[in-house]
Structure 1
């Protein structure tokens, strides 16, 4: 516990998110991309439904814009997927 707290203190504020959940976050984004392609939906179509340009949605999918919970849930609705059925990442 001390090691985690010590590491946490020395990280810059913007790096907390990246340090602790980076792998899981990237897996969720990759899964969203896979689902979108599997369903034959373009970035433009998803972006339009979210009120974003296709370029902004592309940045969201690639992790350049952080995906918040509301957008995540709305994207799942667009893909017609229930949250409990979403498999964001596999446990090791």
Structure 2
């Protein structure tokens, strides 16, 4: 197994949950993929690929998107039970 695939395998569910949360927030704000992509300097196609997991979301890009959505990390991850459990250990 390639190193890249190895890491993705162990965090697949968490990564998908992060992407679903971004999609949910975008929709709650009434924004299209085109609008978000344009403001982030991406094409709508590139942002669509990011939301669907075809382009990997980097930490800096996640932080930039959250700033764009005016959401802090604590609020973004508040519903992620696995992260709460990790914090308590």
TM-score, length-scaled by structure 2: 0.84
Offset from partner CA, 1:28-82 (integer Å, 9 cap, x none): 0000000100110111111111111000000000000000011100110111101
Note the C-alpha offset of 1:20: 1.2
Q: Does 1:43 align with 2:33?
A: yes
Report the counterpart of residue 79 of structure 1 in structure 2. Answer: 69
- Greater helix share, structure number: 2
Q: Which has the higher contact order (CA 8 A, sep 6+)?
A: 1
Aligned-partner Cα distance in 2 for 1:72–1:48: 16
Q: Which has the larger radius of gyration?
A: 1
For structure 1, list consecutive stretches of 5 or more residues without a partner in the other structure: 1-10
Asked if the contact 1:31/1:88 (under 8 Å) is kept, the reply is no
- CA-atom RMSD, angstroms? 1.5
Report the counterpart of residue 22 of structure 1 in structure 2. Answer: 12
Paired residues in the alignment total 82
For structure 2, list consecutive stretches of 5 or more residues without a partner in the other structure: 83-89
Residue 32 of structure 1: which of 13, 22, 37 is its match? Answer: 22
